Structure 1
């Protein structure tokens, strides 16, 4: 699901192009597949956010009006730059253009972070699950680099399901780099479990994570025998169908949906691109 910007459109300008409102300069772009890319931008000095939140980013259209969508911040709250992980939609109003950005270009960034995938929306627990599909990995790329995640939980489990093996590469490289992270490297050891699966291309573990939960494969693979509201907390980010299926599974297991105003056992992202 995408979220459009409710603010008034910017009037068309004549003459030299003005600086973008709430502009952020692109510092790095990496293309992972023909459908996926990530990029980093300079972090506005005034921006404060909680790991797992999203902001509105975008570009100016030819008529000078802003075109914005909700993007989870993939970098942790302490990072000097902001990272984003995106799909490429060839006929998409935004990503058809956004995929061509280069270092030095500017994007619009509205510095008002919000979101439900934050620690404050969950009650204390023993084990936290990050369930993601596709670019729904982005908020968890932030959270698995946040010291609070490892301070709050004895075990952290990241699942990531994609169609093809190459689509797992961004997450795989990120997870592998954590042991060398100067801030959290020692905290991660022995706590983080990474569980990638594919649904189309053959890989070490195939299947939808929902199916692997229902038949018990996920829990047996990870040695988890006591999944339930007493010990487990969960965050979910993926397609609308995936989110709905996961909500049903988690509630069947006794977990209740939480929010910033009323923490509980699981939360689902309400705004998601890709």
Structure 2
């Protein structure tokens, strides 16, 4: 049992937050409050990773989120959700925005988006209005946003390389009026095209090797028994063995960080072409 003053202070703080800190329930005994329990919505463990991936390609907006979720999720803004979500999407599109919507339901809104991604749940019907589906969880949605980031970089780089190839071809073609000068100009643009294709393939392969982010799980470590902590961390009181530590380092190493010797000549050349 907690003191009445402390309980009343906790309840007053919860009331003043206007729902931004979740819902508060008072536990009673003989009709007398003895404890206060704060209940918050459980977020997917990859929420932070999805927000970070979305910010690499544009703004992240929450649709129809309650106050306590808006407080905990670092989004760039909100839009009306529910039955008004489709209208919110169309308004963004009228402003020239390309909208990617990630959701579990609301087929109308998913279909209205430029790319609607439906998150599959075992206890719900599939969101048939979505263009793409994946799940359960947000891993596939995270990969979709990472792919958009890679595509954006590839498009920017390809435009630059194509312009350089065209300029080089024009210069080589104007050296003289002989037929071989025209062939030089064609060769320069062909090299630029080949470099763009190889760079795009290399980027796509790197995306496939990208490690899934570590889920951000809020664990009450102080409340767990020691054996359970060891089980979650997959360790022991003696720590990790050298072999286990090496495996974890290899698993956490960024994809595509192979040495030039491991890549080989062709891989090294393509990696250099893939550099923005």
Structure 2 length as normaliser, TM-score? 0.23
Larger Rg: 2
More helix by share: 2
TM-score (norm 1): 0.23
Query: Larger strand proportion, structure 1 or 2?
Result: 1
